[in-house]
Structure 1
């Protein structure tokens, strides 16, 4: 039976890796729809290669060039928010949710239709509206399949026992490009330096989050909602080899770990396989060649974004949404040269402090979460001139 797939965020790093997995199994999958932000050429090329039925760009101004790029192909297309929703609503068994940032929240939530499988790579859906998102998924019968390598490893490790027997879970972090840098050097880092991730090739925003360890903090919040664990049951360990992606600690003292080469096609294939695992042409894990693993505790003094994310998770309610909104504002300012890398945690901390009196507020709906995100962004933008130093030159 052919399995129908829709990819949200098709031209990003996860979307491209998903396309590679599908290309290895053309008889097993059919692409219903592809969605991207504004990349006309990339989306059209992928649509031709995967023989997609429908493609959509979020940027409404790109409708004409997209239609021209697809001329004669028979592939239907659209542009703008309504076209994105049309793509989501087309018949598909699995939706790969890989739009980066809070921009992916609304379309991912719209994908929660009865019986659908959601390959979730948009962590902001759970960071900003975790309670509402998981409640609506349960109501509609949607299956949430974690596509991030860490959460996918934890989900697979959970198969070796009963969830009630879990004591703690540990997510691993590579440590990012600044793992061995001192505080002063980290604070002066440039956008080009954040792009030198030691393990993965990702988009600019995720590169910055990985360098600051905010990405790992957001993953802790995501894991809280995915697996229903308390904040004190979730931890992070730095593992530079990036072979162990997650560990489950059981009440009898046993630990189950998920291991794989650092290749996103592996967790993607796991999510796309409805019944049997897919055969993948990826390098096999050779432990003898690796030789050894090392581990270290994350340094929250040098990487305060992880501390701030832990605090937001502990506070609960809408604080994770505030954290995420402030971080997206600060990261965009850093990437555009209006702020230094060291300003990112300062903006986030000031913004979270401004919302401290509302820590108990829990967004009841996705719309509530988006409204809170907008307010957090407004407050964070106001802090940028007050706390930002002149951005260092890019190298």
Structure 2
């Protein structure tokens, strides 16, 4: 049985739902807290976490009367405790404290800790059978098979919080898995959608951060510019919904109004539409199986006027094709894809490589990984984290070579 409910067949949610938000001060956390703020009578905050933003997470903890607060940065523990003095709110710091937050008895948990660091906390919530709104791609990209298996065995419910996967989740309610022929994930095309390949190669950090539709963190915005983010979403969709690579298509849709579509065997296509605002998919997860009042702008199609579509260009955006290659290779290749991309984005952000070298470093790392005979099935979180660490070191070793070729 899948951990993702493909039909909305659960009983109505209780009147009061306890909530934990991992990554409460990030962009997804901000949107989540905004929705909680709008319906205080529906939710009780159990725990909040942040990476190192003590001031931000403490402010939220006091506002929402949280019971536990944790930061990942162990050096901030004294600062955190001082800021919470007299509140009665329990606290902790370090990776174990983030896991502790996930283990606390909340009905619903937002998993928005970025990177591979989010895997163990998300698994802690899964193992106690919680409802997990998943906004951390790495949980599935790095550990998709066993993550979903553990969720199913524990009776956990995985709700996709990314806009594209949430759109697919909603559209899939129109039919059964057996009736599906393919899913279509839409992509805005990012800031370089119409750029020539030579111009993309030389793009600056400032240009990469000018996303035309979405307001997101720096890493995900750069990934959107390279379409690596869409590659990660293809991998995520495969594990979430048990889809083969050939059952997942990408369609460039510059207006970012249609977020995902599902085609069934009668060739009916069901689509989910909405303004480009992360509060819409998060609200769907927060209220599920009910719907709660939204905070995004209502969709005015007459004002928008037209919706357009384009096929993705794999030559200008090779990172997308690499995601399909990693998915077909399996045995940790998707973990390598993600790890190498994180090293490449960090190098680009530090102005150590050109924008076009991001995909080249990912490809070189994947090729070297396979050549070295590292492929093996992953069976635990520790396996995935070990592959992630090893792939990062390999990418870092290859980085000077890739940078030199681009100079």
**TM-score w.r.t. structure 2 length?**
0.93
> What is the Cα deviation at residue 274 of structure 1?
3.8
Q: How does 1:1-395 map to 2 (within 5 A)?
A: 1-357=15-371, 358=373, 361-389=376-404
Alpha-carbon displacement from aligned partner over 1:141-164 (angstroms, at most 9, x marks no partner): 101100000000000001111111
CA contact (8 A) 1:206 1:215 kept: yes
SS of structure 2 residue aligned to 1:99: coil
CA contact (8 A) 2:354 2:406 kept: yes
SS of structure 1 residue aligned to 2:341: helix
> What is the Cα deviation at residue 314 of structure 1?
1.6
Aligned mates of 1:115, 1:376 — CA distance in 2: 31
Alpha-carbon displacement from aligned partner over 1:289-313 (angstroms, at most 9, x marks no partner): 1101000011111111111111111
CA contact (8 A) 1:319 1:359 kept: no
Instruction: Give unmatched runs, 5+ long, in structure 1.
Output: none
CA contact (8 A) 2:127 2:150 kept: no
Aligned mates of 1:391, 1:203 — CA distance in 2: 27
Aligned mates of 1:57, 1:364 — CA distance in 2: 28
Aligned mates of 1:61, 1:391 — CA distance in 2: 39
Alpha-carbon displacement from aligned partner over 1:296-333 (angstroms, at most 9, x marks no partner): 01111111111111111121221101111111111111
CA contact (8 A) 2:51 2:73 kept: yes
The total of aligned residue pairs comes to: 392
Task: Please provide the CA RMSD for this pair.
Answer: 1.5
Higher alpha-carbon deviation: 236-245 or 353-362:
353-362
Aligned mates of 2:347, 2:78 — CA distance in 1: 31
> What is the Cα deviation at residue 352 of structure 1?
0.2
CA contact (8 A) 1:195 1:204 kept: yes
**TM-score w.r.t. structure 1 length?**
0.96
SS of structure 1 residue aligned to 2:186: strand
Aligned mates of 2:95, 2:374 — CA distance in 1: 32
Instruction: Give unmatched runs, 5+ long, in structure 2.
Output: 1-14
SS of structure 1 residue aligned to 2:29: helix
CA contact (8 A) 2:129 2:151 kept: no
Say if 1:347 and 1:390 are closer, same or farther in 2 by CA, change over 3 A: closer
CA contact (8 A) 1:88 1:110 kept: yes
Higher alpha-carbon deviation: 82-91 or 208-217:
82-91
> What is the Cα deviation at residue 69 of structure 1?
2.1
Aligned mates of 1:83, 1:360 — CA distance in 2: 32
> What is the Cα deviation at residue 240 of structure 1?
0.5
Say if 1:188 and 1:389 are closer, same or farther in 2 by CA, change over 3 A: farther
CA contact (8 A) 1:338 1:391 kept: no
Task: Name 2:7's counterpart in structure 1.
Answer: none
CA contact (8 A) 1:97 1:121 kept: yes
